[in-house]
Chains A and B, each alone.
Chain A
């Protein structure tokens, strides 16, 4: 019992230090990546004893600034809910990481440790629930501020998240049909197999349309450009317009945590989770019969590192999208959601069903 608690605690510390560290790094990456792709240099002036370290100290400077700013609570706001909203927002974004597997099963000193905080059988539903509950932070934040822009903005956010949440449900259904399970650890293990003997059985090869749709919906769920209508600076500022200091910082952090979450989910569902192509439990086994034997601990370590690198590249891609595309108009966003993504995701379910039935031989074409 004690052993289980200690192991889970260690796993939680590893997972959340990775997530929070990456979220802090993303604030720097967002500035630097956008600068490099726009032929600029980006923030590089914060220095410690003359060392600039490519502007990495801006992470510390930013967080110190957030903490030291006056935390002003508007006198006309509903204070309890006003204080609660950023907590709810960041809590549900972080909670979803509890059931994301970052590695396979580690066998050490005769014990088996699954590298995942909570190996839930209904992990997919749990993630869907946390993604949906994240809306409450936005609604309560906008509503308790008693500010017209904040309310309009949270209405926009809710309309956007609901319409894309519907498509997300349809995409999850096709994922469940392909992998035949709600368990993310099992989904990850199944992606280690091979398709036709040489293609890794990753979700992107099984669900190419689903992959694109999930990316679109995922970017919409993070509420960042091109789907940043709730935060349109030039029109409605955002549902956090009345927040300052660390509470604004929590909303700000939620954006980055959600970016990491969407990246991690894309990796788990479509990009082979922690699997490396042709890396089995005993080492690399290439289709030609060529083999490299590796000890168990090295295999597990390589897989964990592979997961981290994949999530990092996913975050890089999401930032690239955020700094490339212009914002949608509101009607364009709604049209994209209800007239294109939702029908396509439902069509995806039918295509998936037909292929699965055909593969099982239940369909005579």
Chain B
């Protein structure tokens, strides 16, 4: 729906509105500038003069719920919790998980992952693997975002990278 609003006299003169706008911007300018100057003198460190995070030096605090790099959890004896049930590999929409299962001597556990690879260059960070896991063996909670490499093969995480 098109809403037309009649401008008042103040808005039509324009100069008054210009002065109001300049007041708003100059207020921001002077309050931020005084905070920057205070920072130079080591004062008022708790106030921020800008919304900017100076990224490589300053990390932004992430939400606890944010899905980030994967990790595999361990049992109390140090072996991986994963039972190589292939639930995560099956549900993964990006097909980035590759598991090779091996047989375990323990009759209660049956299987364990011989290798567990996650191709981060394919992963879409949907979190389905975490949802699907029956043993709570995989989580996506390492707050790391420097997922970069010069070679695609460097982005494939092996079981040793995942077991932290």
Chains A and B form a bound pair: yes
Q: Interface on A for B, CB 8 Å cutoff?
A: 33, 35-41, 212, 320-321, 323-325
Question: A324 and B50 in contact (CB under 8 A), knowing A37-B28, A37-B29, A39-B28?
Answer: no
| A39-B32 in contact (CB<8A) | yes
> CB distance B22 to A36 under 8 Å?
no
Bound-state Cα–Cα, A36 to B25, Å = 9
> When A and B form their complex, which 3 residue pairs have the shortest distance between CB atoms, in order from nearest?
A37-B29, A41-B52, A324-B25
In the complex, number of A-B residue pairs with CB atoms less than 8 Å apart: 42
* A39 and B51 contact, Cβ closer than 8 Å, known pairs A212-B15, A325-B18: yes
> Complex formed: what's the CA distance from A36 to B37 in Å?
12
> How far does the Cβ of B17 sit from chain A's closest Cβ, in whole Å?
10
Known contacts: A320-B25, A320-B26, A323-B25. The answer to whether A40 contacts B18 by CB under 8 A is no
In contact, B15 and A37 (Cβ under 8 angstroms): no
Report if A40-B29 is in contact (Cβ < 8 Å); known contacts: A321-B22, A324-B22, A325-B21: no
Please, which residues of chain A bring their CB within 8 A of the CB of B98?
none
At the interface, yes or no: B36 with Cβ under 8 Å from chain A?
yes
How far is it, in angstroms, between the C-alpha of A347 and the C-alpha of B48 when the chains are bound? 49
The residue in chain A whose Cβ has the minimal distance to the Cβ of B53 is: A41
Contact A37 B32 (CB under 8 A): yes
- Tell me the complex Cα distance, A40–B28, Å: 11
Q: For the complex, what is the distance from the CA of A158 to the CA of B68, rounded to whole Å?
A: 56
List of B residues within 8 angstroms of A36 by Cβ? 28-29, 32-33, 36, 49-50
- Supply 8 further A-B pairs (C-beta < 8 A) apart from A36-B29, A41-B54, A212-B15: A36-B49, A38-B28, A40-B52, A41-B52, A320-B26, A323-B25, A324-B21, A324-B25
Closest to B35 in A: A36
Q: A36-B33, A212-B15 are in contact. Are A41 and B22 (CB under 8 A)?
A: no
**C-alpha gap A310/B28 in the complex (Å):** 22
Binary CB contact string for chain B from 36 to 60 against chain A (1 if under 8 A, 0 otherwise): 1000000000000111101000000
Q: Which residues of B contact A41 (CB under 8 A)?
A: 49-50, 52, 54
Complex CA gap A229/B18 in Å reads: 19
Whether A40 and B50, one on each chain, are in contact in the complex, defined by CB atoms closer than 8 angstroms, is yes
State which of A35, A37, A38, A40 has its C-beta within 8 Å of the C-beta of B26: A37
Give complex CA distance A37, B25 in Å: 6
Cα(A133)–Cα(B50), bound, Å: 43
27 contacts between A and B (CB under 8 A): A35-B50, A36-B28, A36-B29, A36-B32, A36-B33, A36-B36, A37-B25, A37-B26, A37-B28, A38-B28, A39-B28, A39-B50, A40-B50, A40-B51, A40-B52, A41-B49, A41-B52, A212-B15, A320-B25, A320-B26, A320-B29, A323-B25, A324-B18, A324-B22, A324-B25, A325-B18, A325-B21
Q: In the complex, what distance in Å separates the CA atom of A320 from the CA atom of B25? A: 8
How many Å lie between the Cα of A37 and that of B35 in the bound state?
A: 12
Chain A, Cβ-Cβ closest to B17: A325
Tell me, in angstroms, the Cα distance from A321 to B54 when the chains sit together: 28
Contacts of A38 in B (CB 8 A): 28
**Which residue of chain B has the shortest Cβ distance to A54 in the bound complex?**
B36
Cβ of B28 to closest chain A Cβ, rounded Å: 5
Which residue of chain B has its CB nearest to the CB of A226? B18
State A139–B18 Cα separation when bound (angstroms): 31
Within 8 A of A (CB), among B2-29: 15, 18, 21-22, 24-26, 28-29
Per the bound structure, the CA–CA distance linking A320 and B50 in Å amounts to 18
- Measured in the bound complex, the distance between the Cα atoms of B54 and A60 in whole Å is 22
- Give A320 Cβ to nearest chain B Cβ, in Å: 6
Which residues of A sit under 8 angstroms from B28, Cβ to Cβ? 36-39
Query: Please, how many angstroms separate the alpha-carbon atoms of A39 and B35 in the complex?
Result: 11
Known A-B contacts A36-B29, A36-B33, A36-B36; A320 and B22 likewise in contact (beta carbons under 8 Å):
yes
Q: How far is the CB of A74 from chain B (nearest CB, A)?
A: 39
Residue of B nearest to A340 (CB): B14
Closest to B51 in A: A39
Chain B contacts for A35, CB-based, 8 A: 50
Residues of A within 8 A of B26 (CB): 37, 320
